[in-house]
């Protein structure tokens, strides 16, 4: 694997957004009864991470400055 593999602003932003979505979804699942609206918000936030990565890559944020 390359030395800078994945160490780009685009990758870190996408991972951060995906993690936020998973945290929101996890919190929704811990509620009794399950908060379905909050769960779907978490799913949508997590899914948005991939298109966000693609957009940031196209804008030039997919390079590491070493």
pTM of the complete model beyond 0.75: yes
- Domain residue limits, the chain: 9-58
pLDDT of residue 2: 57
pLDDT higher than 90, residue 3: no
Query: Chain centroid to CA 63: how far?
Result: 18
pLDDT of residue 36: 97
CB 52, CB 44: distance < 8 Å: no
The pLDDT tens digits for 37-66 are: 999 999 999 999 999 999 999 999 988 764
Q: What is the mean pLDDT of residues 2-16?
A: 83
Strands (E), 1-66: none
3-state secondary structure of 60: coil
The pLDDT tens digits for 14-27 are: 999 999 999 999 99
């Amino acid at each position: 694997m390359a030395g800078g593999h994945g160490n780009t602003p685009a990758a870190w932003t996408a991972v951060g957004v995906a993690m936020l979505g998973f945290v929101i979804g996890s919190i929704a699942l811990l509620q009794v009864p399950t908060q379905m609206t909050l769960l779907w918000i978490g799913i949508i936030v997590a899914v948005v991470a991939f298109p966000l990565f693609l957009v940031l890559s196209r804008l030039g944020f997919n390079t590491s400055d070493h």
